[in-house]
Amino acid sequence: MAKDYYGVLGLTPGASDADIKKAYRRMARDLHPDVNPDPGAKDRFHEVQLAYEALTDPDKRRIVDLGGDPFDTSPGGGMGSPFTGAGFGGLGDIMDAFFGGGGAAARGPRSRTRAGRDALIPVELDLDETVFGTTKDITVDTAVLCTTCSGAGTAPGTHPATCTTCSGRGEVQSVQRGLLGQVVTSRTCPTCAGTGQVIPDPCPQCGGDGRVRARRTIPVKIPAGVEDGMRIRLTGHGEVGPGGGPAGDLYVEVHERPHPVFTRDGEDLHCRVTLPMTSAALGTTLTLDTLDGEADLDIKPGTQSGSVLTLRGQGAPRLRATGRGNLVVHVEVQTPTRLDPEQEKLLRELAALRGEDQPESHREAQGGLFSRVRDAFNGR
């Protein structure tokens, strides 16, 4: 049976928050191990603390009021199905088989109310949304508390009844004669799934589950600086548990859409600009469309292809620190193609002026690599 948390504090269901506080203070004062040397006081003090916690947390108190135990962490609670009846259900059953069900007394019926599962929803975001943050309406299709029965699962005006298969114990025993003599096997009651109770008149809205599927839209705040694959947790926005148990959490997973210009590397953004050879040689000022608006990009005379220019603080904000990353601009210099006769003539003149029209000058441009290799071969 679920613990009588009201009884522990000397209260009855429906006690006000003030009553609970008052009863707790009075009993804690009497039972505190520092003032009460009685050996049983420590255990009682612990019970009182537990009851206080169960009745002052709204989620936990709702479970108590539904006949459940908010601290019940029995594994697979209520997962019993008619199929578990075949063979042994687990170690406990094996122990029972050998020791005549001695371990069964500690179990008792389990609560029908259990915690809900977490939910995961992906959200597609553009780069400016992950960089600057935004608020997105997320549609969640999940289990919510049934408003007709408030999670109890019973039709209005009716109550759960004690399971007749197990007489409310939550488990059934079968006796067999075997080699070791009489063998008693305990297993979860298949009728009530171990809760010790059945619902004769299920709620018409939820069929007795205490929750219904519903679609709702909630605004989700996306913090600035989130990255692809990160999850934002919304506590208590997941699935409501069976029997109206506390809801799990909702995780919103960020999926960042590729941007046509910028790629993201953590807090840094990267982009590529292509320059005509002449602008790279003479220098110029480019106007760059950044996420923050237009920015002037100063190209120094003699800029090489593959150069990198860094705009500090124009990247993505740091999620767990202050400041922003950088915008890294990769410069690509374009070699002119499809020269008309006049352009070709000008380029040849330029080449002649710079002494770049002789085959030897190419060798020089290699930085003397060929001659160094030759020297190495000749042992110099």
Name the β-bridge partners of 144: 212
CA of 59: how far to CAs of 71, 94, 379, in Å?
Answer: 12, 36, 85
Q: What's the min distance (Å) between Cβ of 78 and Zn ion?
A: 12
Contact of 295 with 236, CB cutoff 8 Å: no
Return the number of the residue (55 or 192) whose C-beta is nearest Zn ion. Answer: 192
Q: What's the min distance (Å) between Cβ of 18 and Zn ion?
A: 31
C-alpha dihedral sign at 179, 185, 190, 193: negative
Element (H, E) at 175: strand 171-178
Q: What's the min distance (Å) between Cβ of 327 and Zn ion?
A: 55
CA-to-CA distance for 237 and 67, rounded, in angstroms? 24
Q: Does 163 help bind Zn ion (rule: CB under 5 A)?
A: yes
Return the number of the residue (78 or 325) whose C-beta is nearest Zn ion. Answer: 78
CA of 204: how far to CAs of 126, 153, 201, 305, 368, in Å?
Answer: 44, 9, 8, 73, 90
Q: What's the min distance (Å) between Cβ of 148 and Zn ion?
A: 4
Long-range CB contacts (within 8 A, 24+) of 168-175: 168/109, 168/196, 168/197, 169/108, 169/109, 169/196, 170/107, 170/108, 170/109, 170/110, 170/194, 170/195, 170/196, 171/104, 171/107, 171/109, 173/101, 173/104
Return the number of the residue (9 or 203) whose C-beta is nearest Zn ion. Answer: 203
Return the number of the residue (201 or 268) whose C-beta is nearest Zn ion. Answer: 201
CA-to-CA distance for 132 and 122, rounded, in angstroms? 19
Element (H, E) at 8: helix 5-8
Residue type, 215: R
Residues in the chain: 380
Which of 11, 127, 138, 146 lies at the binding interface for Zn ion (CB under 5 A)?
Answer: 146
Q: Does 173 help bind Zn ion (rule: CB under 5 A)?
A: no
Element (H, E) at 371: helix 369-377
Which of 54, 104, 189, 309 lies at the binding interface for Zn ion (CB under 5 A)?
Answer: 189
Q: What's the min distance (Å) between Cβ of 165 and Zn ion?
A: 4
Task: List the Cα angle 322/327/331 in 5-degree steps.
Answer: 165
**Region near Zn ion per CB under 5 A, out of 138-146, 229-237, 239-247, 284-292:** 138-146
Neighbours of 253 (CB within 10 A): 13
**Region near Zn ion per CB under 5 A, out of 26-34, 90-98, 196-204, 359-367:** 196-204
Which of 158, 205, 279, 307 lies at the binding interface for Zn ion (CB under 5 A)?
Answer: 205
Q: Which of residues 111-130 bind Zn ion (CB under 5 A)?
A: none
Q: Does 149 help bind Zn ion (rule: CB under 5 A)?
A: yes
**Would you put residue 129 in left (φ > 0), alpha (ψ -120 to 50) or beta?**
alpha
Which of 192, 232, 254, 328 lies at the binding interface for Zn ion (CB under 5 A)?
Answer: 192
Contact of 243 with 236, CB cutoff 8 Å: no
Q: What's the min distance (Å) between Cβ of 107 and Zn ion?
A: 13
Which of 31, 206, 234, 311 lies at the binding interface for Zn ion (CB under 5 A)?
Answer: 206
Q: What's the min distance (Å) between Cβ of 79 and Zn ion?
A: 15
Q: Does 199 help bind Zn ion (rule: CB under 5 A)?
A: no
Q: Which of residues 23-62 bind Zn ion (CB under 5 A)?
A: none
Q: What's the min distance (Å) between Cβ of 19 and Zn ion?
A: 29
Which of 203, 254, 328, 329 lies at the binding interface for Zn ion (CB under 5 A)?
Answer: 203
Question: What are the strands, taking DSSP E only, across 278-351?
Answer: 284-290, 293-299, 308-311, 327-334
Q: Give me the DSSP letters along 70-88.
A: TT---TTTT---GGGGSS-
**Region near Zn ion per CB under 5 A, out of 65-73, 120-128, 158-166, 246-254:** 158-166
Return the number of the residue (134 or 148) whose C-beta is nearest Zn ion. Answer: 148
Q: Does 166 help bind Zn ion (rule: CB under 5 A)?
A: yes
Q: Does 158 help bind Zn ion (rule: CB under 5 A)?
A: no
Return the number of the residue (48 or 203) whose C-beta is nearest Zn ion. Answer: 203
Return the number of the residue (206 or 222) whose C-beta is nearest Zn ion. Answer: 206
The residues that touch Zn ion, with contacts defined as CB under 5 A, are 146, 148-149, 163, 165-166, 189, 191-192, 203, 205-206
